[in-house]
């Protein structure tokens, strides 16, 4: 029986990819190279430092560890300037309704995100109270596709991994869910998320009853 739903944040609950994109693009431009929307796809679900490594690889630029830390901090300050302006109307269609449906049906909820800004984002969106547990980039050490973030979520909710369903928009996130022994609903394109048990374009396209059938 399904007991819990675990949600990725960026790309599932809210579209922050556009803000990450602007901030990374600005950093690339300061270093003298172009960063495109296609490049941005490679950063979805990838931690901040790993994203910076990909960005530097795209630009063919080498930086010291200290320089990298400064660059990542600068990118995050720019990103935060957008995040701090976010309003609840930026919640993706169906997300709040789905979370409400979970609550009504006694299904536990957790956030499972790589972002160190997850708490700030949830607060801006007024969604914090919808989650029984929040696991994010501040309390995980291994990035997706490692299952750590979701296993910690199941542990915090006190439910077996086999009773959890994960909602993910990134390929690495789908892999993390599967290797955690959980079911996975892909949010996005079936061609990219082919390892998921089912794929929909958004949380507005799925009902809790469809999830319960996954078991």
Interacting residues with ligand G6P (CB under 6 A): 10, 20, 43-48, 51, 76, 113-117, 137
> Length of the chain, please?
215
Instruction: Name the minimum Å distance from CB 212 to ligand G6P.
Output: 27
Mapped onto helix, strand or coil, the DSSP state of residue 181 is coil
Site for Mg ion in 148-187 (CB under 5 A): 169-170
Catalytic residue among 10, 15, 89, 136: 10
Active site residue 204: no
Stretch of 11-19, 83-91, 159-167, 184-192 contacting Mg ion, by CB under 5 A: 11-19
Active site residue 8: yes
- Is-contact 144 184, C-beta < 8 A? no
- How many angstroms from the chain centroid is the CA of residue 27? 22
- CA dist., res. 51 & res. 46, Å (int): 6
Residue tagged 């010291």 (tokens) = 64
- Tell me whether residue 59 or residue 202 sits nearer to Mg ion (CB atom): 202
Radius of gyration of the chain (CA): 17
Question: Phi, psi (5° rounding) for residue 109?
Answer: -130, 140
Instruction: Name the minimum Å distance from CB 127 to ligand G6P.
Output: 16
Token digits of residue 172: 């690495």
112 sits near Mg ion (criterion: CB under 5 A) = no
Please report, as ranges, the residues that interact with Mg ion according to CB under 5 A.
8, 10-11, 45, 169-170
Residues noted as catalytic: 8, 10
């Amino acid at each position: 029986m399904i007991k819990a739903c675990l949600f990725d944040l960026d790309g599932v609950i809210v579209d922050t990819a556009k803000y990450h994109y602007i901030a990374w693009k600005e950093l690339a431009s300061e270093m003298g190279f172009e960063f495109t929307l296609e490049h941005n796809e490679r950063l979805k679900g990838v931690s901040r430092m790993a994203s910076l490594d990909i960005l530097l690889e795209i630009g063919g630029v080498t930086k010291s560890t200290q320089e990298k830390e400064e660059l990542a901090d600068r990118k995050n300050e720019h990103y935060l300037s957008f995040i701090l302006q976010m309003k609840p109307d930026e919640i993706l269609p169906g997300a709040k309704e789905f979370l409400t449906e979970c609550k009504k049906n006694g299904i536990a909820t957790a956030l499972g995100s790589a972002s160190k800004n997850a708490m700030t984002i949830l607060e801006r969106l007024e969604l914090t109270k919808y989650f029984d547990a929040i696991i994010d980039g501040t309390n995980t050490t291994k990035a997706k596709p490692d299952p750590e973030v979701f296993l910690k979520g199941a542990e915090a909710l006190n439910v077996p991994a086999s009773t959890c369903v994960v909602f993910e928009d990134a390929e690495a996130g789908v892999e993390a869910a599967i290797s955690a022994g959980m079911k996975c609903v892909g949010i996005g394109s079936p061609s990219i998320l082919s390892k998921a048990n089912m794929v929909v374009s958004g949380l507005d396209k799925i009902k809790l009853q469809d999830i319960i059938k996954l078991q």
